[in-house]
Chain A
Amino acid sequence: MDRAVVALDGLTYRYPGSGAGVADVDLAIRAGEMLVCIGPSGCGKTTLLRLVAGFLRPQAGSVAIAGRDVTGADARSRQCGIVFQSYALFPHMSVRDNVAYPLRVRGVPGAERAARAAKMLDLVDLAALADRLPAALSGGQQQRVALARALVFEPAVLLLDEPLSALDAATRVAMRDEIRRVQRERNIATLLITHDQDEALSLADRIAVMRDGRIVQVGTPQAIYDRPASGFVATFVGRANVLEATVSGPDGVDTPLGTLATLPHGCARGEAVSILIRPERVEPVGEGAAGDNLIVVEIEQDKFFGATRALVAKAGGSRIAIETASRDAVHRVRIPRDAIQFLHGSRNLKEA
């Protein structure tokens, strides 16, 4: 196991006069790792970032950066490079001066300062715009200036607060790759905050899912998607059918869709469980199909996305979301046994 660059231990912060904040957060960011913290708005993810950055002091717990306890230290001395949601570039300084600013306040001599700023601007491909003011740049370019400025003083950690939310869709995807490339190149431990699941799944080495100020699951993107700890995680990361069901036998459950055959699950008969079926695991089938869990459906919604179609269908007494590449009309679907997962709420919080 790598040494943790950032170690949060029992971190708790409540905003005065409200219940919002974060509670009892344990989290470690390893060297060179991109950890993406995702959750709905108000879940405390920005608070978490501010606690790491030193803009807020926790009421309980501790923050350690690069092996040093910085719980009481101010933001200046924490060696965190931060990219803010709205970039926070200094409007009166040129791109070059913005990037050189962290070196300027550290008293780095002029020539070295210029050289290091130029090198960072090369890295983010902005050398040609070094003399411009931030106001003369596009959103994506401002973002790259902010990234260069946050990295030029070789901080121990990079913190990104919803860095892509202010960009249009096309720029967002390009910037996502750019952030990943730069982060890999500098091999810096990174905490990225987002509410966008695509961003989280495509960028992260590990994802931490937050809800109501607590971390509900930490794991690789694959683990979070394939083995979500709860219905909340399942629906927040990826599309999901989460059904309330009753165990009807050692390999079956009663659901609003009807009785479904599952893999042997080991739950007691009559136990109430939640099950998860990912829409892309629901297979449209023809008339003559045979096998488990064949269900007659009636399509209510049909959205075409090019490569796939997203359907919502009425089935039994309930509805089911289906994702398929097929262009044909859908009247019957099959749900393979191994596509049905049991969600165990908080019972299965172990990191995968």
Chain B
Amino acid sequence: MTTAPVTGPRFTRWVTLVYLAYLAAPIVLLFVGSFGQLWLNTLLPTGFTGRWYAEVAADPSFRRAFVSSLTVAGLVILLCLVVGLPLAYAVFRADRPAVRALARVIYQLPVALPALVLAFGFIRVFSSDQLPWLGSIWLLVAGHLMLGLPYFLQAVVADMQRLNLKLLEMAAESLGANGRQRFFQIVLPSLRHSILAGLIVVAALSIGEFQFSNLVAGFLSRTYPVVLLQAFYGATGFACAATVVLLVLALAASVAGALSTGSAIRPAGAY
């Protein structure tokens, strides 16, 4: 069997372009819409204005949601480091098949356990009299952590295997490093890229998460995407502007991640 000889590359290029346009179109339309004065039954909005952004910025529920989202994401990242890193290390060093099996289950969690199911579970457990914590920001943090942790683990454990961390630690030990020195001088710094990459994924997931947050968040702890839904009942321009804010937030996170990864490649002198 042979592929079409000459048309092959050109055809692939066209498919790629069409696909990219398809991906970009909604984002571009959001930007256009957020600056448009009026957008009713036309292909593109008419007039140019910045007032939608001003309105979003002035809206107290959006302001609170913005802060909530950042708070939740920040706490999730922190917990991910505290819980995820030792967990990743345990999975990596595990000799026992039971631990490896458990790790595989954790990896599959996002597929096996959709956010919706997780949310129903949380509601069932935390609406009881014994555990009346529904609406607390900590429940959001816990849920987002469960949803994000598998991605963090995958990134970090894969990096540990790639670096052959076990051997690096053996080398450090033979050179005289104790456990604390090995962890802070060898393990952490050599994993910094994957830790950062994993945390960015977790942060992005947390900031954009809707299904779980919508069901579990209390009125005062609503995250940005949850509040955003309501914007679409109002003016189109306002909805677009509110969405662009979320988009910029996600974009900023990944740019910050890329920049810090870049600067981390050249370590400061260890003397």
Which B residues are CB-close (under 8 A) to A92? 189-190, 192, 267
When A92-B189, A110-B271 are in contact, do A75 and B167 touch as well, CB less than 8 Å? no
For residue A164, CB closer than 8 A to chain B, the reply is no
Q: Is B176 a contact of A97 with CB atoms below 8 Å? A: no
For residue B161, CB closer than 8 A to chain A, the reply is no
Chain A, range 43-72, C-beta contacts under 8 Å to B: 53-55
Q: Is B174 a contact of A53 with CB atoms below 8 Å? A: yes
Interface size on A, residues (CB 8 A): 31
Q: Is A75 a contact of B163 with CB atoms below 8 Å? A: no
Which B residues are CB-close (under 8 A) to A93? 189, 267, 270
Task: Tell me the nearest residue of chain A to B167, going by C-beta.
Answer: A88
3 closest A-B pairs (Cβ-Cβ)? A88-B171, A102-B175, A97-B270
| Alpha-carbon separation in the docked complex, A81 to B171 (Å) | 9
Q: Is A90 a contact of B186 with CB atoms below 8 Å? A: yes
Chain B, range 154-179, C-beta contacts under 8 Å to A: 163-164, 167-168, 170-178
Scan A145-189; emit 1 where CB is below 8 A from any B CB, else 0. 000011001000000000000000000000000000000000000
Q: Is B172 a contact of A100 with CB atoms below 8 Å? A: no
Q: Is A88 a contact of B270 with CB atoms below 8 Å? A: no
List 7 other contacts, CB 8 Å, given A82-B170, A90-B190: A53-B174, A82-B171, A84-B170, A91-B163, A100-B271, A102-B176, A105-B181
Which B residues are CB-close (under 8 A) to A74? 173
| Alpha-carbon separation in the docked complex, A90 to B163 (Å) | 9
For residue A86, CB closer than 8 A to chain B, the reply is yes
Q: Is A75 a contact of B173 with CB atoms below 8 Å? A: yes
Q: How far is the CB of A103 from chain B (nearest CB, A)?
A: 9
Q: Is B269 a contact of A88 with CB atoms below 8 Å? A: no
Q: Is B175 a contact of A97 with CB atoms below 8 Å? A: no
When A97-B269, A149-B175 are in contact, do A88 and B190 touch as well, CB less than 8 Å? no
| Alpha-carbon separation in the docked complex, A80 to B174 (Å) | 7
Q: How far is the CB of A30 from chain B (nearest CB, A)?
A: 22
Task: Tell me the nearest residue of chain B to A101, going by C-beta.
Answer: B175
Q: Is B271 a contact of A97 with CB atoms below 8 Å? A: yes
For residue A76, CB closer than 8 A to chain B, the reply is yes
Q: Is B271 a contact of A76 with CB atoms below 8 Å? A: no
Chain B, range 244-271, C-beta contacts under 8 Å to A: 267, 269-271
Q: Is A113 a contact of B271 with CB atoms below 8 Å? A: yes
| Alpha-carbon separation in the docked complex, A105 to B186 (Å) | 11
| Alpha-carbon separation in the docked complex, A94 to B178 (Å) | 21
Which A residues are CB-close (under 8 A) to B190? 90-92
What residues make up the interface of A, taking CB atoms closer than 8 Å to B?
53-55, 74-76, 78, 80-82, 84, 86, 88, 90-94, 97, 100-102, 104-106, 110, 113-114, 149-150, 153
Q: How far is the CB of A50 from chain B (nearest CB, A)?
A: 9
Q: How far is the CB of B189 from chain A (nearest CB, A)?
A: 5
What residues make up the interface of B, taking CB atoms closer than 8 Å to A?
163-164, 167-168, 170-178, 181, 185-186, 189-190, 192, 267, 269-271
Q: How far is the CB of A337 from chain B (nearest CB, A)?
A: 52
Which B residues are CB-close (under 8 A) to A94? 267, 269-270
When A102-B175, A105-B177, A153-B175 are in contact, do A90 and B170 touch as well, CB less than 8 Å? no
Q: How far is the CB of B178 from chain A (nearest CB, A)?
A: 7
Q: How far is the CB of B159 from chain A (nearest CB, A)?
A: 11
Q: Is A101 a contact of B189 with CB atoms below 8 Å? A: no
Q: Is A82 a contact of B168 with CB atoms below 8 Å? A: no
| Alpha-carbon separation in the docked complex, A114 to B186 (Å) | 19
Q: Is A88 a contact of B177 with CB atoms below 8 Å? A: no
Q: How far is the CB of A345 from chain B (nearest CB, A)?
A: 38
| Alpha-carbon separation in the docked complex, A275 to B270 (Å) | 61
Q: Is B167 a contact of A104 with CB atoms below 8 Å? A: no
| Alpha-carbon separation in the docked complex, A102 to B176 (Å) | 6
Q: How far is the CB of B67 from chain A (nearest CB, A)?
A: 35
Q: How far is the CB of B85 from chain A (nearest CB, A)?
A: 16
When A76-B173, A93-B270 are in contact, do A88 and B168 touch as well, CB less than 8 Å? yes
When A90-B168, A91-B190 are in contact, do A105 and B271 touch as well, CB less than 8 Å? no
Q: List 25 A-B contacts (CB under 8 A).
A: A55-B170, A74-B173, A75-B170, A75-B174, A76-B178, A82-B171, A84-B167, A84-B171, A88-B164, A88-B168, A88-B170, A90-B172, A93-B270, A97-B267, A97-B270, A100-B271, A101-B185, A102-B176, A104-B270, A105-B175, A105-B176, A106-B176, A113-B271, A150-B175, A153-B176
| Alpha-carbon separation in the docked complex, A239 to B11 (Å) | 60
Q: How far is the CB of B188 from chain A (nearest CB, A)?
A: 9
Task: Tell me the nearest residue of chain B to A146, going by C-beta.
Answer: B171
Q: How far is the CB of A291 from chain B (nearest CB, A)?
A: 58
| Alpha-carbon separation in the docked complex, A250 to B271 (Å) | 74
Q: How far is the CB of B111 from chain A (nearest CB, A)?
A: 32
Which B residues are CB-close (under 8 A) to A113? 271
Which A residues are CB-close (under 8 A) to B172? 90, 101, 105
| Alpha-carbon separation in the docked complex, A126 to B168 (Å) | 22
| Alpha-carbon separation in the docked complex, A153 to B172 (Å) | 13
Task: Tell me which of A90, A91, A94, A100 has the highest count of chain B C-beta atoms within 10 A of its own C-beta.
Answer: A90
Which B residues are CB-close (under 8 A) to A84? 167, 170-171
Q: How far is the CB of B181 from chain A (nearest CB, A)?
A: 5
| Alpha-carbon separation in the docked complex, A266 to B190 (Å) | 65
Q: Is A86 a contact of B178 with CB atoms below 8 Å? A: no
Q: Is B269 a contact of A82 with CB atoms below 8 Å? A: no
Q: Is A82 a contact of B181 with CB atoms below 8 Å? A: no
Q: How far is the CB of A67 from chain B (nearest CB, A)?
A: 20
Which A residues are CB-close (under 8 A) to B271? 97, 100, 104, 110, 113-114
Which A residues are CB-close (under 8 A) to B269? 94, 97
| Alpha-carbon separation in the docked complex, A153 to B175 (Å) | 8
Which B residues are CB-close (under 8 A) to A53? 174
Task: Tell me the nearest residue of chain B to A159, going by C-beta.
Answer: B174
